[in-house]
């Protein structure tokens, strides 16, 4: 399936009036405080946020991101399942020719796993203690870097 731009999209994502971000909860983890705080923080910074709600498969998140013509995907994972979730998301995006959508991950992620996440295509990782301005900045950078 080829990624089809919506009518409002223009040739370069950064020339759109605002960034469209997916905030997603992959897998079975049901703690969504972080996802909701980040969603609100992004919205307050002028980012358009589509929050997927709980218990999404990585494949579903990829589909939502493509259908919504998202500029960036933000995953919130607290269950320790981040490596498999990110790898599956990367596979799903690639399969639909959407590997250019950057992925940012936040949650309970130990330092040891950051390299493996980068290898799975993750642009930025946020750990406990992360601040909203830094997350907003990472989202802007990731979205702006999209070609």
User: Residues in the site for other proteins, rule: CB under 8 A?
Assistant: 23, 27-33, 35-37, 39-41, 49, 51, 53-55, 57, 79-81, 83-85, 108-112, 127-129, 131-133
Nearer to other proteins, 93 or 135 (CB): 135
Q: What are phi and psi of 84, to 5 degrees?
A: -65, -35
Q: 10 Å Cβ neighbour count for 118?
A: 13
**Minimum CB separation from other proteins for residue 49, in Å?**
7
Compute the least distance from the CB of residue 30 to other proteins, in Å. Answer: 2
User: What six digits make up the tokens of 120?
Assistant: 């799975």
Non-local CB neighbours of 113 within 8 Å, separated by 6+ positions: 82, 83
Least Å from the CB of residue 5 to other proteins: 25
């Amino acid at each position: 399936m080829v990624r089809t731009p919506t009518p409002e999209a223009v040739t370069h994502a950064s020339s759109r009036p605002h960034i469209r971000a997916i905030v997603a909860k992959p897998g079975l983890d049901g703690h969504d405080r972080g996802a909701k705080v980040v969603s609100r923080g992004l919205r307050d910074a002028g980012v358009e946020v589509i929050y997927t709600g709980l218990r999404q498969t990585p494949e579903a998140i990829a589909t939502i991101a493509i259908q919504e013509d998202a500029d960036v995907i933000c995953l919130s994972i607290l269950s320790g399942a981040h490596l498999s979730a990110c790898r599956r998301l990367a596979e799903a995006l690639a399969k639909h020719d959407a590997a250019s959508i950057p992925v940012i991950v936040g949650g309970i992620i130990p330092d040891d796993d950051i390299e493996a996440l980068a290898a799975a295509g993750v642009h930025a990782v946020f750990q406990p203690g992360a601040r909203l301005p830094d997350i907003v900045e990472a989202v802007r950078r990731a979205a702006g870097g999209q070609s």
